[in-house]
A = this chain, B = another copy of it.
């Protein structure tokens, strides 16, 4: 139930509305913990019900009203005893690697294209992280305790992205010979163009 805890640590910094949290989970915390707004709102209701956070309605005239949540003493305790519990290493679920496992029979060109898209994505994210790093944590040794925690999150992000970028480059050079070979031997696996109607999704599988 770690989403609850991710919300609680966010509230440790300062009170947030669900909307705030949803945005925050698209940045900072979101670098290593994703959550949709639906999930956040649901979790906030649960947390409020169990007394770990308290809600306050803030009336706004220009914008829709907000419900701002803050930690209760109970919530702080719960958070800190959770922190004392042992932490399990996460499991990565990399769809792209699953696909690469089928490199023997799949069309290398398709996978090469996917790898290229990923390279771009991770380069962008790396650049973003590095920029935040420059702007907010130029001298890590001088940071306060609280900021060190945030810094270390970002730091792992940087290291990860660097790895993935490098991997994408290596993967490109290992897959592209297969793709060009496939072109030469003219053995197209499938002629259907990769048209994706956005919004549709296969139901059966």
Contacts and interface: CB of A to CB of B under 8 A. Distances in A.
A53 to B, nearest CB: 11
Given A12-B101, A83-B110, A101-B153, 18 more contacts: A29-B101, A34-B91, A50-B205, A82-B202, A84-B192, A86-B117, A88-B95, A100-B149, A100-B153, A103-B145, A103-B149, A104-B145, A148-B174, A152-B171, A152-B174, A155-B167, A156-B164, A156-B167
Interface in A111-158: 111, 114, 117-118, 121-122, 140-141, 144-146, 148-153, 155-156
A19 interface: no
B93 A34 contact: yes
Given A103-B148, A111-B83, A97 B167 contact: no
B149 A104 contact: yes
Tell me if A's interface is mostly helix, strand, loop or mixed: helix
Contacts of A167: 152, 155-156, 159
A106 interface: yes
Contacts of A102: 9, 12, 79-80, 83, 149
Given A101-B153, A146-B104, A190 B29 contact: no
Nearest to A94: B32
Interface of A: 1-2, 4-6, 9-10, 12, 29, 32-34, 50, 52, 76, 78-108, 110-111, 114, 117-118, 121-122, 140-141, 144-146, 148-153, 155-156, 159-160, 162-164, 166-167, 170-171, 174-175, 178, 189-190, 192, 194, 196, 202, 204-205
